[in-house]
């Protein structure tokens, strides 16, 4: 049996992951929230899953590295500095980082990359995401992943082409950009829509999550896979084989 430790364990995702660990008959090593001791948890878990906050990432990665324990990072709202920390840690331990642990989004990313490549520069790409009123980051980590996939298909990068939100007299849409819009309200678990808008026609590719148990299943599956993986940085593609 694999012993799994949770960073952010009293949060919405942490509680769903603890239930999933029990459902699949693995062992819960315990968890920490703000003020907890990540080092102690990292020392007694076979693998860690982090669904907490970007502000906790440095300490959580340091604890995982110190103990040599693989870690799944599901926390979103990460910036370039966080990604550099993950790269550095992945030189020593196995790290899987993803903004979405579902099979559906892994497949959708592929479809988006392919569509962006095939449709070419005459089609405008806009990404719309909707989440519950308590979500603190925008755009969602998943929207940014889908944006990365679209940018790759277009032969560019999101840092060069992304346009996050619009307000006021912003002018006509610049060609070759990828726009993002975020809706927040109620208890929406997570909806993502990628719109390819061409001359007189539109293609819409999307995904709707009905229950965060979906993400918990993916997180535990990722953790069990990562527990025996060598050092390196991984995505859900490696786990799901899509």
Ligand X SMILES: O=C(O)C1=N[C@H](C(=O)O)C[C@H](O)C1
Catalytic residues: 131, 135
- Binding segment for ligand X among 37-45, 140-148, 161-169, 218-226 (CB under 6 A)? 140-148
* Closest to 173 (Cα-Cα) out of 130, 129, 121, 128: 121
Q: Between 62 and 91, how does the x/- string for binding to ligand X read (CB under 6 A)?
A: --------------x---------------
- Cβ–Cβ under 8 Å, residues 72 and 6: no
| Residue number closest to ligand X, CB atom | 190
Task: Note the helical H segments in 137-212.
Answer: 141-154, 158-161
Among residues 191, 178, 186, the alpha carbon closest in space to that of 129 is found at 191
**Burial class, 55, CB count within 10 angstroms (exposed 0-12 / middle 13-18 / buried 19+):** exposed
List binders of ligand X among 110-129 (CB under 6 A): none
| Residue 115 neighbours by CB distance under 10 Å | 18
Nearer to ligand NDP, 69 or 101 (CB): 101
Name the residues that contact ligand NDP, by CB under 6 A: 7-8, 10-14, 32-34, 51-53, 55-56, 74-77, 98-101, 137, 141, 212, 215
Q: How far is the CB of 142 from ligand X (least distance, A)?
A: 3
53 vs 161, beta carbon nearer ligand X: 53
* Dihedral over Cα of 102, 106, 111, 116: its sign: positive
Rounded least distance, CB 207 to ligand X, Å: 9
Binding-site annotation, residues for NAD(+): 8-13, 74-76, 98-101
The entry of ligand X, ligand NDP, none that residue 207 binds, CB within 5 to 8 Å by partner kind: none
Number of H helices, E strands in the chain: 9, 11
> Contact between 142 and ligand X (CB under 6 A)?
yes
DSSP-derived secondary structure for 20-80: HHHHHT-EEEEEE-TTS-HHHHHHH-SEEEE-S-GGGHHHHHHHHHHHT--EEE------H
By rule CB under 6 A, what string of x and - marks binding of each residue 156-195 to ligand X?
----------------------------------x-----
Binders of ligand X among residues 8 to 47 (CB under 6 A) are none
At closest approach, how far in Å is the CB of 131 from ligand X? 5
Beta bridge partners of 170: none
**Which parts of this chain interact with ligand X (CB under 6 A)?**
76, 99-100, 131, 135, 140-142, 190
């Amino acid at each position: 049996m694999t012993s799994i430790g949770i960073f952010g364990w009293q949060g919405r995702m942490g509680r769903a992951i603890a239930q999933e660990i029990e459902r699949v008959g693995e062992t819960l090593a315990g968890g920490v929230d703000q003020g907890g001791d990540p080092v102690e948890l990292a020392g007694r878990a076979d693998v860690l899953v982090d669904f907490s906050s970007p502000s906790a990432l440095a300490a959580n990665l340091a604890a995982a590295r110190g103990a040599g324990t693989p870690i799944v990072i599901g926390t979103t709202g990460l910036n370039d500095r966080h990604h550099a920390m993950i790269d550095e840690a992945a030189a020593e331990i196995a790290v899987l980082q993803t903004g979405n642990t579902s099979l559906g989004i892994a497949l959708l990313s592929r479809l988006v990359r392919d569509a962006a490549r095939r449709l070419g520069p005459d089609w405008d790409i806009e990404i719309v995401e909707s989440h519950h009123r308590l979500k603190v980051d925008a755009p969602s980590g998943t929207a940014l992943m889908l944006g990365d996939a679209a940018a790759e298909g277009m032969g560019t990068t999101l840092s060069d082409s992304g346009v996050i939100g619009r307000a006021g007299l912003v002018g006509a849409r610049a060609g070759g950009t990828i726009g993002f819009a975020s809706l927040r309200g109620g208890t929406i678990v997570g909806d993502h829509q990628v719109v390819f808008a061409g001359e007189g026609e539109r293609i819409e590719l999307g995904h709707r999550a009905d229950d965060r148990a979906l993400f918990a299943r993916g997180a535990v599956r990722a953790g069990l896979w990562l527990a025996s993986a060598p050092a390196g940085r991984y995505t859900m593609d490696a786990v799901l084989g899509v």
